[in-house]
Amino acid sequence: MMPSKAAPSRPDPLSYESLRQQILRRDGWRCQSCGAMSNLEVHHREFRSHSGSDSEENLITLCSGCHARAHL
């Protein structure tokens, strides 16, 4: 199997988990804000309502600290 951005999938829990892993891999297992490599979480960017789906472009890897700040 090749990682591909070809197939938009429905955000069911199972595919969401694999999507999370895909985002973490894409971002090199680093917080995209500060570069931390622990306590990583996947954050939905602001325009979720625009496409209405959990596409890769809507997601970014953040550590828990930066993620908390992103939600302030």
Q: Which residues form the interface with Zn ion (CB under 5 A)? A: 31, 33-34, 36, 43, 63, 66
Q: Which is nearer to Zn ion, 4 or 35 (CB)?
A: 35
DSSP three-state, residue 48: helix
Q: What type of residue sits at position 41? A: E
Q: Which residues are bridge partners to 5 per DSSP?
A: none
Give least dist CB 55 to Zn ion, A: 15
Q: Minimal distance in Å, beta carbon 33 to Zn ion?
A: 4
The gap from C-alpha 61 to its chain's centroid, in whole angstroms, comes to 5
Least distance in Å: CB of 62 to Zn ion? 6
C-beta closer to Zn ion: residue 43 or 54: 43
For residue 4, with 0-12 CB atoms within 10 Å meaning exposed, 13-18 middle and 19 or more buried, which class applies?
exposed
